[in-house]
Homo-oligomer: A and B are copies of this chain.
């Protein structure tokens, strides 16, 4: 009877989360059972219950593992545009960077989908719902604050209220990611086209000519 080390245990945990992620992506979250996850991981339901307290728990931990860093990086990038010489470019970079990572890392993409689909799979009052709502509000808030700064710098083109502009961006991002992640045939190749698609909206919001500073080599 070989004792499992703390390492082994942590490893099992990750294996389970990987299994859950893979299944969530391919067959949806609602349709994935704990048995499915255990089987996919080559383990039994009991193991799932050792590591997690229930399905919601798995979803939340999965979100944190897969998107937590990405999320906070993005929030930071947005707040740092204040210290950039070209805050508009920095903003563009933050957004397109987020999209690029989501497009390239299925795990990160899943996190977005979790956020969108939580509508469907949680009860009215669920903790998970609150958790995800918080994260989304953080995103929204960070974008909003960034836009406020850009406006102070006279770097916004559109007349729309900042709050709405922030929501436009969020909605567009979510819409693009959602189309991209649809299981089955992917109608959208985000990794390749995402940036150009994003610019379609960004060009309505931000200056097309890069901001005034001395050199404007273009983007």
- Spell out A's residues near B (CB within 8 Å): 26-31, 113, 116-117, 119-124, 129, 133, 140, 158, 160, 164-165, 167-168, 170-176, 178-179, 181-184, 187-188, 193, 196-197, 200-201, 203-205
Contacts and interface: CB of A to CB of B under 8 A. Distances in A.
A197 B124 contact: no
How many copies of this chain?
Answer: 4
A178 B171 CA distance: 8
B121 A167 contact: no
A57 to B, nearest CB: 18
Dominant secondary structure of chain A at its interface with chain B: helix
Contacts of A183: 119, 124
B165 A171 contact: no
Contacts of A119: 27-28, 113, 117, 178, 181-184
B201 A121 contact: no
A200 B205 contact: yes
Contacts of A164: 193, 196-197
Identify which of A188, A196, A200 gathers the most chain B CB atoms within 10 Å of its CB: A200
B165 A176 contact: no
A119 B180 CA distance: 12
A84 B172 CA distance: 29
Contacts of A171: 172, 175-176, 178-179, 188, 197
A115 to B, nearest CB: 10
A28 B121 contact: yes
A29 B26 CA distance: 19
Contacts of A113: 119
B27 A123 contact: yes
Nearest to A130: B184
Contacts of A133: 184
A178 B116 CA distance: 8
Contacts of A28: 119-122
A160 B195 CA distance: 11
